[in-house]
Amino acid sequence: MKIFNLFKRSVEKEDQKPEILENIMNENQEISYLDEFGKEQKILKSEWVNHHLKPAVEKNWNDVEELYSIVMDAFSKNVYYEAKDACLRIYSLDNNKERRTNVLGIYYIKNKEYDQAIDLYKKYTFYEKPSEAIYSNYAKVLEKKGNHEEAEKLYLKALNLNPNSSNAFKKYFDNIKKRNIAEYNTKLEEFAHLEDTWRAKLTLAVKYFKSNEIEKGKELLNKALKESEYDSEVMSMASGIYGMNS
């Protein structure tokens, strides 16, 4: 039995990795997309790959910006394996080293090719100045391989670059909380009292409100609102909190 591949390079079923077989079995799943009139349509994954993804990749093979948009669209539809050639093409063409690394890194992670992803991010962090996204994705794949200690260090490095990173903040503090609740409380307090750490302040404010320390909660919530410049996430949380405590 032959399997589907974006550019028809087939491999015998018995040679397939479990994660690739899983992608093939999901070909009958429906995915949503917007047609030329902006109307939502549903189509089988295999049909979307054949009639939308493949022609778009072939048409824009030498246009890295268009390829990037196409791959991001595929990823948003949970189409990963079939985007392999486009991801490799982006990596070979893109002058934006961070972007090309994260595109290929996400492809490797989603297809459970963790060793390749680790090699990719290790190379990048050795030769380039890593960003928050690079550190976070590198940490993610290390977690997949069970290296939680090194992953935690990388999430902290991501937070040092952006203390309000949603992904890095959640992962870093969730890991500490699972390990030791006292350590979690201490580090959250310390982090919340630093400047421009509105996510930590918001998290600690919620904790204070839950423990009926209303005044402490209000003080931190107000600081979080100001530091975030009234970010919609903080505004929504504040509305919910004040609604329950009015």
Query: Using one digit for the tens of pLDDT, what is the confidence trace for 147-192?
Result: 999 999 999 999 999 999 999 999 999 999 999 999 999 999 999 9
- Which pTM does this prediction carry? 0.81
- Lowest average pLDDT, out of 36-45, 99-108, 119-128, goes to 36-45
Residues facing 2 on adjacent strands: 12
Cα–Cα distance for residue pair 145/141, rounded to 1 Å: 6
Residue 8 has a pLDDT of: 40
Cα–Cα distance for residue pair 32/27, rounded to 1 Å: 14
Residue 19 has a pLDDT of: 54
Contact between 164 and 196 (Cβ < 8 Å): yes
Q: Closest Cα to residue 7, out of 55, 75, 48, 64?
A: 55
pLDDT bucket at 1, cuts 50 / 70 / 90 = very low
- Residues 27-71 have pLDDT tens digits of 678 888 777 788 888 889 999 999 999 999 999 999 999 999 999
For residue 37, how far is the Cα from the chain centroid? 30
Q: What letter represents residue 194's amino acid?
A: L
pLDDT(94) > 80: yes
Residues facing 32 on adjacent strands: 42
- Residue 15 is given by DSSP the state G
Contact between 31 and 46 (Cβ < 8 Å): no
